[in-house]
Chain A
């Protein structure tokens, strides 16, 4: 297959254009893929951070950010269902935040009981730092500019009540365009004006020896007026709401598909031009007795070499691009498998791009060789 390689490097300009086309496609696919994965992850980040097996929500709640108040007896009734080991409370509401400089803005305030999970961002979670008060307010480092806090602790106001911001956390940055603030359930209920027995969500932990699905069913029978979802079901519902119902996911996927198509067009154009320029050499190959498979391999190999080179360049280019994007879009996320996984569509793209060229090379009349 030296012929394939030599044909490519013999026309360096065309090779460079092809490689850049693949590189652009790979860059766009990985970038858009990272946006999509990050978006999906952020859409259910708080649900996933809980240790709860089951979430009880008001009927028809589509996403964590749009919860409504559950009846006060719901938690007590849930606690009485066999298999329920522990229940907690979570609430989320938009609140008015006044910065230390006096500027006002809207924030998403999340409050949760300490038993919701050790990864859930609450100040009084088990294992949390002792030096902060149980009613402290936490914010994500990526929201620092919006929160306008320069030193900790900082005295601010939430819904006209004094609050103390005492710690910054990571991984729970703004997803709705407004910053998140996290605090204890008790504190959040005070800011929002909830009663102590009211909640928006009741995370439930199932005792050992009980099946989650059975407890879920029992809870649903006992509480027919609410939705009883496993953590995965609620996370999935939340992700589907943000990606499908808002159209945001469609926009991201469309951009990734466009990247794929642009790469496809660039590679197919250049491989086709190269094949047609060397069409008499393919006729010579056939006259020399080369099999159809041999001819296909020469064309396909050229496309795949471009695909591999372009993919590698794309991977090199996307790393700093994503690094920079993370400073602007904190929830963007590139799992380790995404760059590796993108090599499959990029090689597929190059193979598809070679189809027309393969056809031309296979159908060339070998008798052409006699024309001087």
Chain B
């Protein structure tokens, strides 16, 4: 009996209609253990991002169930799914997705504003996070003034605002050089080891293998291989 903390069960997802229809996921069942870092790999078009979108309540499957923090979410309304995203799930993106007009600290502060609107110390908490991530000198810098590695660290700090139990990362090291990529791997690993969070990373980057507890390989919309790191 799998732990239904985070995962999908018998999900099918397709895009388009008729001859142009693409079956992104074909009857996939996959669960992620609480407090682990799972790496989802696979070639382009294998369904990795579709899987991540469903786990993040951004996409509903055509068939099957999606579980987030033990709750079936695919029948929820858009407003209810937004609340799940607000309270339970956080994202780290390949393209960072920082707000271009806001400084580093304001980007993280915005994360708090969305997730914990009642929190009055949001700027202090944002500063604490950025200092922890080695960005204490760049609090007031806008995204255009930061290196790609620094941007991703700001994005991770924003993802941690409000202390969500689940972090979903889509190719978080794809735009980074080797050193910055390694830093990000370590940072997300720490969220599992010290923060007890559940992290799912979708990546082509094989460096992640040594930081992951589980490695899942998708191919053509199906789970090809699922293994626990020895």
B-chain residues with CB within 8 Å of residue A367 when the two chains form the complex: 53, 58-59
Among residues of B, the one whose C-beta sits closest to the C-beta of A283 is B97
Residue contact A289 to B170, C-beta cutoff 8 Å:
no
Partner of B114, one of A7, A294, A370, A372: A294
Say yes or no: A284-B97 contact (C-beta < 8 A), given A289-B82, A369-B91.
yes
A10 within 8 Å of B (CB atoms): yes
Partner of A288, one of B52, B79, B85, B102: B85
Partner of B93, one of A2, A281, A286, A369: A369
CB distance from B105 to the nearest CB of A (A): 10
Within 8 A of A (CB), among B143-163: 158
B-chain residues with CB within 8 Å of residue A7 when the two chains form the complex: 101
A285 within 8 Å of B (CB atoms): yes
B-chain residues with CB within 8 Å of residue A152 when the two chains form the complex: none
B-chain residues with CB within 8 Å of residue A372 when the two chains form the complex: 93-95, 171, 174-175
Cα of A280 to Cα of B49 in the assembled complex, Å: 17
A292 within 8 Å of B (CB atoms): yes
Cα of A290 to Cα of B158 in the assembled complex, Å: 13
B23 within 8 Å of A (CB atoms): no
Residue contact A2 to B102, C-beta cutoff 8 Å:
yes
Partner of B56, one of A6, A284, A287: A287
A328 within 8 Å of B (CB atoms): no
Partner of B170, one of A9, A286, A288, A370: A370
B-chain residues with CB within 8 Å of residue A287 when the two chains form the complex: 56, 58, 85, 91, 97
Map CB proximity to A onto B88-128 as digits: 1 under 8 Å, 0 otherwise: 01110111010111100010011100110000000000000
A38 within 8 Å of B (CB atoms): no
Residue contact B93 to A289, C-beta cutoff 8 Å:
no
A-chain residues with CB within 8 Å of residue B174 when the two chains form the complex: 372
Within 8 A of B (CB), among A267-315: 278, 280-281, 284-292, 294
Residue contact A290 to B95, C-beta cutoff 8 Å:
no
Q: Does more than half of chain A's interface fall in helix, strand or loop, or is it mixed? A: helix
B-chain residues with CB within 8 Å of residue A134 when the two chains form the complex: none
A-chain residues with CB within 8 Å of residue B52 when the two chains form the complex: 370
A-chain residues with CB within 8 Å of residue B82 when the two chains form the complex: 286, 289-292
Map CB proximity to B onto A1-35 as digits: 1 under 8 Å, 0 otherwise: 01100110110000000000000000000000000
Among residues of A, the one whose C-beta sits closest to the C-beta of B94 is A372
Cα of A294 to Cα of B115 in the assembled complex, Å: 11
CB distance from B23 to the nearest CB of A (A): 17
Partner of A3, one of B79, B87, B110: B110
A-chain residues with CB within 8 Å of residue B114 when the two chains form the complex: 285, 288-290, 294
Cα of A290 to Cα of B106 in the assembled complex, Å: 16
Within 8 A of B (CB), among A234-289: 278, 280-281, 284-289
CB distance from B145 to the nearest CB of A (A): 13
* Of listed B84, B91, B101, B110, residue having the most chain A CB within 10 A: B101
CB distance from B84 to the nearest CB of A (A): 8
Among residues of B, the one whose C-beta sits closest to the C-beta of A4 is B101
Within 8 A of A (CB), among B45-66: 49, 52-53, 56, 58-59
Residue contact A289 to B86, C-beta cutoff 8 Å:
yes
Among residues of A, the one whose C-beta sits closest to the C-beta of B123 is A2
Cα of A331 to Cα of B94 in the assembled complex, Å: 66
B-chain residues with CB within 8 Å of residue A286 when the two chains form the complex: 82
B10 within 8 Å of A (CB atoms): no
B71 within 8 Å of A (CB atoms): no
Cα of A6 to Cα of B98 in the assembled complex, Å: 13
Among residues of A, the one whose C-beta sits closest to the C-beta of B99 is A281
A-chain residues with CB within 8 Å of residue B94 when the two chains form the complex: 370, 372
Cα of A188 to Cα of B43 in the assembled complex, Å: 102
CB distance from B114 to the nearest CB of A (A): 5
Within 8 A of B (CB), among A158-197: none
Among residues of A, the one whose C-beta sits closest to the C-beta of B54 is A367
Residue contact B91 to A3, C-beta cutoff 8 Å:
no
A-chain residues with CB within 8 Å of residue B58 when the two chains form the complex: 287, 366-367, 369
Partner of A289, one of B59, B83, B175: B83
A-chain residues with CB within 8 Å of residue B171 when the two chains form the complex: 372
Residue contact A10 to B97, C-beta cutoff 8 Å:
no
* Of listed A3, A7, A289, residue having the most chain B CB within 10 A: A289
B-chain residues with CB within 8 Å of residue A284 when the two chains form the complex: 93, 97, 99
B-chain residues with CB within 8 Å of residue A6 when the two chains form the complex: 99, 101-102, 106
Cα of A178 to Cα of B99 in the assembled complex, Å: 64
CB distance from B194 to the nearest CB of A (A): 23
Cα of A289 to Cα of B79 in the assembled complex, Å: 9
A-chain residues with CB within 8 Å of residue B83 when the two chains form the complex: 289, 291
B-chain residues with CB within 8 Å of residue A294 when the two chains form the complex: 114
A-chain residues with CB within 8 Å of residue B102 when the two chains form the complex: 2-3, 6
Within 8 A of B (CB), among A314-372: 366-367, 369-372
B-chain residues with CB within 8 Å of residue A288 when the two chains form the complex: 85-86, 90-91, 111, 114-115, 158
Given contacts A369-B95, A370-B49, 4 further A-B contacts (CB under 8 A): A3-B110, A287-B58, A289-B82, A372-B175
Residues of B in contact with A (beta carbons under 8 Å apart)? 49, 52-53, 56, 58-59, 79, 82-87, 89-91, 93-95, 97, 99-102, 106, 109-111, 114-115, 158, 170-171, 174-175
Enumerate the 5 nearest inter-chain pairs by beta-carbon distance, A residue then B residue, closest first. Answer: A289-B86, A289-B85, A10-B101, A6-B101, A284-B97
A-B contact pairs, 14 of them (CB 8 A): A6-B106, A281-B97, A286-B82, A288-B85, A288-B90, A289-B82, A289-B86, A289-B89, A289-B114, A291-B86, A367-B53, A370-B52, A370-B170, A372-B95
